[in-house]
Amino acid sequence: MNSVRLHRAAQLALGESRFEDTRRLCLEMIAARPDFADAHFLLGVAEGSAGRLRAALAALENAVRLAPRAEYLAQYARFLVLARQHARALRVADDAVQLQPVDAITLDTLGCVYSRLAAHERAVPLFEAAVHQRPEHVQLRYNLAASLGFLGRFGEAEQHYERIIAMQPSFVKAHSALATLKKQSPESNHLARMEALLSQLSDSSDELHLRYALAKEYEDLQDHDAAFRQLDAANRRRKAQLGYHFDSDRAVFDRLTRCFQQPSYFQGDSDLREGPIFVVGLPRTGTTLVERILSSHPEVESGGELQAMPIAVKRLSGTPTRAVLDPETVDAAGSIAPVALGQLYLDDVAPYRRTRARLVDKLPLNFLYIGFIARALPNAKIVCLRRDPMDSVWSNYKHLFATNFSYYNYSYDLLDTAAYYLMFDQLMGLWRRLLPGRVLELSYEAIVNDLEGQSRRLLAHCALEWSDDCLRFHENNAAIATPSAAQVRQPIYRSAIGSWRAHEQHLAPVRDLFRAQGIEVV
């Protein structure tokens, strides 16, 4: 087969997701023409699509070296994100944009890279250009709408979601996004449309997303029993599919507790002077609110939910396991030099810095890494959000987290979520004993009841002068890449306090477990 036919055959095989055939054809082309950039490119995409990220990155690096085209750089950046090399992915994406790509798929790929890296301001123009070229492509339009929502441009996002549903009524992600975009009312909601669609679905993932959307809208309309029925049906099926058992999470908490109590574990000096601010806590407990208060300060900027610390620990631990944090990784991390971990973290977050202001890293599950953070970055400030335990459980149970991450598998069961809260509470007790004064624990309820007083505590802990801007956090126009995007663009409100009581009957086992464990429930 000559090179032209080989090339066409490889393109066809990749288009049909025949990755092994693509690989074989590309290797044949490369053997004949080592400098054929497109053969390296097709090989890289095939390898990455088959889950072989290291081989994918090597092939794409060759393609980019031979011909630095925007299309090649975009795919290289995409697989760098999947390989958790976020800082490098951001630089590669910037290089691709400089080449002024015009192809819709390349534009969308770059937009997705920026979106995954919480750079929605950069993503939106790329998505808009892609949709302009391919207005009928629902996925491209959905990507644009999602980023518009993160930027607070809710009206525009709503229009795009409705356009998607008009073109493809079964596009469940658009229905789900509309449900969460704003609070629904008896006069304006999507319940009838979604209930009709639910009866037509056969895909379990679509059903999961649609039931959560229905639960959210029923909750908005105060039909609490209907909301719980949808969540219960969705979560029971999802947990059964995953085969999740809480022991997998318990093992990580236990290993962290045991290792950090050993005098020789993760020891060594760190002279790093930078002092980023880490906002941590259980998800859905007010971390985004605190991030917005901080990032409204003129000397602070937010990097969003950065994965830099977990990735740095994983990379330096050298463990081959797939999980970012597991007992094996905790064991291996004990021999990391704290200064090496701190420097790798600072290097990885550098591309997210737009100014010389203090950086806020708001990844809630960094509460697992507080021991690493405190020793690797001696000037870092750590703030942990605490919320009423019953509200914490309910808010986690009713929210559908990213289904492609295993971090949140506990949330599909009320008692698993309660057990996770108990482990979180115990781990925070350990950090309190080992690192006195390093972590400011803030109550969500206290912030709601005394915004200025708690904000002053927060800024004092972070060594920041007082600024009235922090009380106007809802006027902050920066992107919010979290489920709280709509809520924290409003002034402070009290309606979320005690929200579990609308489901008190269903949460009785959780209440009983907490009381048996000495956790006060009021």
Give the whole-angstrom CA distance, residue 304 versus residue 301: 9
pLDDT single digits (tens) 153-180? 999 999 999 999 999 999 999 999 999 9
Please indicate, yes or no, if residue 450 is contained in any of the structural domains. yes
Q: How many domains does the chain have?
A: 2
| Chain centre to alpha carbon of residue 184 | 25
For residue 345, the enclosing domain spans 247-516
The whole-number pLDDT of residue 94 equals: 96
- Write down which residue in 243, 259, 274 finishes a domain: 243
For the chain, the residue count is: 522
148 found inside a domain:
no
* Residue 480 reports pLDDT greater than 60: no
pLDDT for residue 405 is more than 60: yes
In a domain, 14, yes or no: no
Residue 505 tokens, joined: 């009957």
pLDDT at 483 over 70: no
Average pLDDT, the chain: 94
Cβ-based neighbour number of residue 41 at 10 Å: 24
Q: What is the CATH number of the domain that holds 456?
A: 3.40.50.300
Are 218 and 312 part of one and the same domain? no
Residue 274 shares a structural domain with residue 342: yes
Last residue of a domain, one of 215, 243, 271: 243
- Whether this model's pTM surpasses 0.75: yes
Q: Strands, DSSP E only, in 312-436? A: 358-361, 381-386
The average pLDDT across 442-453 equals: 96
Q: What is the pLDDT at residue 477?
A: 66
Do 484 and 395 fall within a single domain?
Answer: yes
Confidence of residue 123 (pLDDT cuts 50, 70, 90): very high
Has residue 291 been placed in a domain? yes
Cβ neighbours for 172, distance < 8 A, ≥ 6 positions apart = 197, 201, 206, 209, 210
pLDDT digits (tens, 9 = 90+) for 227-280: 999 999 999 999 999 999 999 999 999 999 999 999 999 999 999 999 999 999
The answer to the question of residue 33 being in a domain is no
Q: Are residues 330 and 183 in the same domain?
A: no
pLDDT tens, residue by residue, 190-216: 999 999 999 999 899 999 999 999 999
d(CA 362, CA 70): 31
Same domain (yes/no): 356, 306? yes
Write down the pLDDT at residue 488.
Answer: 52
Confidence category of residue 34, pLDDT binned at 50, 70, 90: very high
226 and 259 assigned to the same domain: no
pLDDT band with cut points at 50, 70 and 90 for residue 97: very high
Inside any domain, residue 403: yes
Same domain for 497 and 422? yes
Tell me: do 219 and 345 sit in the same domain. Answer: no
Q: How far is Cα 287 from Cα 285, in angstroms, rounded to an integer?
A: 6
The residue type of 59 is A
pLDDT of residue 484: 53
Question: What's the average model confidence in pLDDT over 106-116?
Answer: 96
Shared domain check, 194 and 343: no
> Is residue 58 one of the residues assigned to a domain?
no
pLDDT above 90: residue 490: no
- Residue 37: the pLDDT is 96
Residues 6+ apart with CB under 8 A from 294: 277, 279, 300, 302, 360, 458, 459, 462, 464, 470
Provide the pLDDT for residue 112: 97
Q: Do 330 and 224 have their domain in common?
A: no
Q: Are residues 230 and 263 in the same domain?
A: no
Q: Within this chain, do residues 227 and 359 fall inside the same structural domain, yes or no?
A: no
Q: How far apart are the first and last CA of the chain?
A: 76
Last residue of a domain, one of 243, 275, 294: 243
How many other β-carbons are positioned within 10 Å of the β-carbon of residue 65? 12
Instruction: Confirm whether 136 is domain-assigned.
Output: no
Q: Name the pairing type of β-strands 277-281 and 358-361.
A: parallel
Predicted confidence band of residue 330 (pLDDT cuts 50, 70, 90): very high
List the one residue out of 196, 149, 144 whose CA is nearest residue 177: 149
Q: Quick one: pLDDT at residue 354?
A: 78
